Amino acid sequence: MSDKTPDATPDKALDKTFDFKDAEARLYEAWEASGAFKPSRTGEPFTIVIPPPNVTGSLHMGHALNNTLQDILCRFERMRGKSVLWQPGTDHAGIATQMVVERQLANEGANQDRRSMGREAFVERVWKWRHESGGQIINQLKRLGASCDWSRERFTMGEDGSADDQMVKAVMKVFVQLYKEGLIYRDKRLVNWDPKFETAISDLEVENKEVDGHFWHFKYPLENGETYEFPTAYDEEGEPTEWETRDYISIATTRPETMLGDGAVAVHPDDKRYAPIVGKKCLLPLADRYIPIITDDYPDPDFGSGAVKITGAHDFNDYQVARRNDIPMYPLFDTKAVMLEDDYIPERYRGMDRYEAREAVVQDIKERGLLIAVEDKKIMQPFGDRSGVVIEPMLTDQWYVDAETLAKPAIHAVETGKTKFVPENWTKTYYQWMKNIEPWCISRQLWWGHRIPAWYGPDGHVFVAENEDEATKEAIQKYTAEGYSLEEINDMRRHEHDGAPLLVQDEDVLDTWFSSALWPFSTLGWPEETPELKKHYPTSVLVTAFDIIFFWVARMMMQGVHFMKEVPFHTVYIHALVLDEHGQKMSKSKGNVIDPLVLIDKFGADALRFTLAAQAAQGRNIRLSEARVEGYRNFSTKLWNAARFCEMNECKPDPDFDPAKATLTLNQWIIHEANQCAADVTREIEAYRFNDAAGAIYRFIWSVFCDWYLELAKPVMQGADGAEKTETRAAAAWALDRILQLLHPFMPFVTEEIWNSFADRDALMLSQWPSFDKTLKNDAAAAEMSWVVDLITAVRSVRQEMNVPVAAKIPLVFVGASADDKTKLSAHEDVLMRLARLSDITAADAAPKGAVQIVHGGAVAALPVADFIDIAAEKARLAKEKEKAEKEIAGIDKKLANKKFVEKAPAEVVEEQHSRRAGYVEQLEKLEAALTRLADL
């Protein structure tokens, strides 16, 4: 790998503006061609595995944030001399990819779907799509500047999905080993069922939405016409005062069709209203069977009637109640959510769609006189995030992982500090979820994915092996041991036709999360013991969003600890969400989605990256607006202009320049500040405080280097040649180099372009990261220049507050100046007069009449402004501005005092009001100070 960046920049001086559209593609291609993204042969390993985006995906703002933060870490550690591997790849995204290809087939109009094609042909078609169209997001990540080692790109299903592919072998080995250890098994449990795709889906693929719905209140008559006294009125102490005789129990449901699968009615054991009928039975209307009335802690006596119908086969809470109380479960629907033909379902409803059945059930209940009321109500309903249809909880046979057993050592690993979470509060969330973990459903009724390595014999016996040949060997051994001859075994066929297999493979595929849970070690060559695995596992840090901490992070922890006997990563950094500028989650339905590629096209990748990093405060969501990105594009422009100023003033890197030997206070100061900035940025990146790191380099570049140092250095640079000019040029170039290095992880393109324009040298991204050098610390120079800068700032502030004409030059009288003050005034007189627009600077024992006084250090700086302004007019202007600010504050206070507004308004709106108030309060304080100054004139 060469440290050079070949053809990285045109052989010419910096253009007037930075053409990011040309530079980004050119620089990225040069970096990649030079091998700059590959791990170095030497150095301590630093490894990050990319959260693999779906192969169907395109770059969204969450990806942009996640990968920007990873790239900052990788570029930072690479410059610190570490052997950095940022392992890239994509996820095969079972349901999403299958949906894309099925849609493609439908659009082709050939009247062909996957079932008419057959499994083998369909899977082949998906692979064709993957190779032709599946790399879009990789190219988009490159546009962001992601410095992944693309030569090591991996796909969760391997290169072609064949049994001998290393990525496939890893998945098969894990499944088989877990099965043999009793940690994978078949079970009938409740799952999220998508009737459109006809498969189980994970919780992450379920989107709960609030919709307009209904509560239907039904009567379930008591067995044998029994009655009881039900309280209908209560006194102040909650004791019943009135009763009515009832021969039924009232239940409420949002899904009437599921009543046909009820196995019981439950009430809370402390609910005295139902005490007389607990243990008795009630008639399940329409199904005409009796079900028990039981007690359980699940029903809430204060919600509805306090009685809950228990439909164990179609509700997650009911399922738990049914299991605890040994209540029978009655599945109602087939894979398309159509009513089954089973005997316990009345014949009238069999074959009906669930919503058709709902209407029929309600109508029939009404005709029987058992409908009490219909209540309009907002309800939460689960939808498939890709299918868009209502998800049905379904009792099905699936493959499961014993997550509880695997979770224990993964919990212990965090408890003992082997893996830490940043921010630390996510540790508690991790424990809560892991300690209450449910069995993990790993089977999906799809065709695209890792097919489950289980084969069934003619007698239904299951053989789990890494491939069919091994499964067949196991089957022959089993049947031989049972006394069958080879000829009899060969005659064992599930089908009568010749050539039918001895074994038939399970139709299901594995949950996508199963293969991605192996990502930290499968991508490094496992199950082979490769040099990469030895060097780069465990990985250093995982950067991910909080919404997949359970689905991915926890499962990688479980599988990593179990199979590698080590945690998969030492640190897990959890970042927040990217919201719109109003604090709303982005969604297509709201029309507030911000496309990162549009912003990159408009403002450049650097501006977007810095915007995201600058707002990436731990534990706080990011509010993104185009205006912010434009603002940081302006920051990039400011740096570019500063570099052009240095170039025009012949500030070139001087290998003989020793910053520790600088003699001018001005240069000692900028060297001190750059040195301190390096310490600050390093400390904040190491602590994953990306916003603070970005803030530190931003302030140094904008407020110190550009606004002050270059302005203060102008007279020296543009003056006569000599030692001071030579030193200042070299110091400016040295400071600019430190800026480019410290900013590079955040803004890689503009920094590399500037770096390459100043000298023929190694690539910036492979240069040495600036470390804090105590020999460059110069508190005296820093204090002196701060004295100068603060004085100029104070004078400018007074001029602005007093509305002194810009062209007017005013005198400055220093009262009570010490010898040190006088020395500094003399040394910096030219700068003070030029930048503060002063006519002269004098020292006196008392302030002149009509002067505004500023306390500066141990002295007073007096500015006689009375002759330059209309005092009466200024007092009137400031008083009017003060009145306006007070009215604004009063209006906001009135709004915030309104409890209804605070309770009902979105949080971001309330926060905006507080922010506006703070701004007006600050403005008011300045106005009052200015009026006080005028009163003293």
Q: Known binding site for ATP: residues?
A: 588
Nearest alpha-carbon partner for 308 in 255, 349, 354, 356: 255
Half-sphere exposure (Cβ direction) of 335: Cα atoms closer than 13 Å:
10
**DSSP 8-class letter at 859:** E
Q: Which residues of 450-471 are buried (b: 16+ CB within 10 A; e: fewer)?
A: bbbbbbbbbeeeebbbbebebb
Q: Is the peptide bond before 659 cis (omega within 30 degrees of 0)?
A: no
Question: In the structure encoding, which two tokens stand for residue 755, read together?
Answer: 């770096």
Residue with tokens 């549009």: 598
Helices H / strands E in the chain, number of each: 31, 31
Q: Tell me the backbone φ, ψ of residue 6, rounded to 5 degrees.
A: -60, 135
CA distance 696 to 694: 5
Residue with tokens 């006194």: 235
Question: In the structure encoding, which two tokens stand for residue 482, read together?
Answer: 């049972």
The three-class DSSP label of residue 266 is strand
Binding-site residue ranges: 588
The CA distances from residue 740 to 250, 642, 678, 752, in Å, are 73, 12, 11, 8
How far is C-alpha 708 from the chain's CA centre? 38
Whether 431 and 490 have beta carbons less than 8 Å apart is answered as: no
How far is C-alpha 907 from the chain's CA centre? 20
Q: First CA to last CA across the chain, in angstroms?
A: 70
The three-class DSSP label of residue 890 is helix
Burial class (CB in 10 A: 0-12, 13-18, 19+), 798: buried
How far is C-alpha 611 from the chain's CA centre? 15
Q: 507: which residues sit within 8 A by CB, 6+ positions away? A: 445
The CA distances from residue 57 to 110, 140, 453, 771, in Å, are 26, 10, 28, 39
Nearest alpha-carbon partner for 248 in 329, 359, 369, 361: 369
Whether 292 and 251 have beta carbons less than 8 Å apart is answered as: no
Element at 79 (helix H, strand E)? helix 61-79
Whether 688 and 573 have beta carbons less than 8 Å apart is answered as: yes
CA distance 634 to 740: 16
CA distance 77 to 539: 14
Whether 872 and 843 have beta carbons less than 8 Å apart is answered as: no
CA distance 332 to 259: 10
How far is C-alpha 151 from the chain's CA centre? 26
The CA distances from residue 802 to 327, 832, 923, 926, in Å, are 83, 19, 14, 11
Q: Tell me the backbone φ, ψ of residue 73, rounded to 5 degrees.
A: -65, -45
Residue with tokens 């040394």: 827
Nearest alpha-carbon partner for 574 in 554, 597, 596: 554
CA distance 823 to 379: 76
CA distance 422 to 689: 10
CA distance 92 to 634: 40
CA distance 914 to 896: 8
